[in-house]
Amino acid sequence: MNKTIYIIRHCEAEGQAPEAPLTAKGKEQAKVLSAFLSGREADHIVSSPFLRAVQTIEPFVAANNLKIETDNRLQERVLSSVSMPDWMDKLEAAYQDFNLKYEGGESSNEAAGRIVAAVNDLCADDTGNSIIVAHGGIISLLLHHYDKSFGFEAWKQLSNPDVYALQIAEHTHQLRRLWFED
């Protein structure tokens, strides 16, 4: 088995709510992203059901006559269900202790388990290369799974959009960033 999974963080959005759409800039970014992806072979698209993620990949899907499958496991990580003014400090702590869990939220291990399971399912199926579209927090946990040096500081460096390629062979993998903002 040799396949590549392209991991895409959504373009600029109007907010964090599940129904938050892309901004005007985000819609332009989605067109640029579509052109960027056009030379890459991918026949299976899986997205977070959040509107900003779906809108990010729509131009590519339309240009290539593909379909978008949504998967709830790609939804953004829930840090807590209560407002935390010091959420950035709490998030950093969650990268230091992957079992740390706040009220109504997921631990880093729990959230990582969701997206890793989704990727494992893609690796196990017969389709060729795939694209997943998700959110910075959950993607950073997936990237950490494959590269333990990827943590809080690396999460802060993710851009909207961002693209990584995960190349999977029999018992090896290679992870590399493809997207670089000007």
Domains and CATH numbers, the chain: 3-177 (3.40.50.1240)
**173 pLDDT more than 60:** yes
Q: Over the stretch 57-84, which tens digit does the pLDDT of each residue have?
A: 999 999 999 999 999 999 999 999 999 9
Predicted TM-score (pTM) of this structure: 0.95
Q: Over the stretch 34-61, which tens digit does the pLDDT of each residue have?
A: 999 998 989 899 999 999 999 999 999 9
Tokens 């072979």 sit at which residue?
41
Burial of 31 (0-12, 13-18, 19+ CB in 10 A): middle
**182 pLDDT more than 60:** no
| Average pLDDT estimate for 88-99 | 97
Report residue 164 as tokens. Answer: 């990584």
Q: Provide the mean pLDDT of the chain.
A: 95
Q: Percent of the chain having pLDDT more than 70?
A: 98
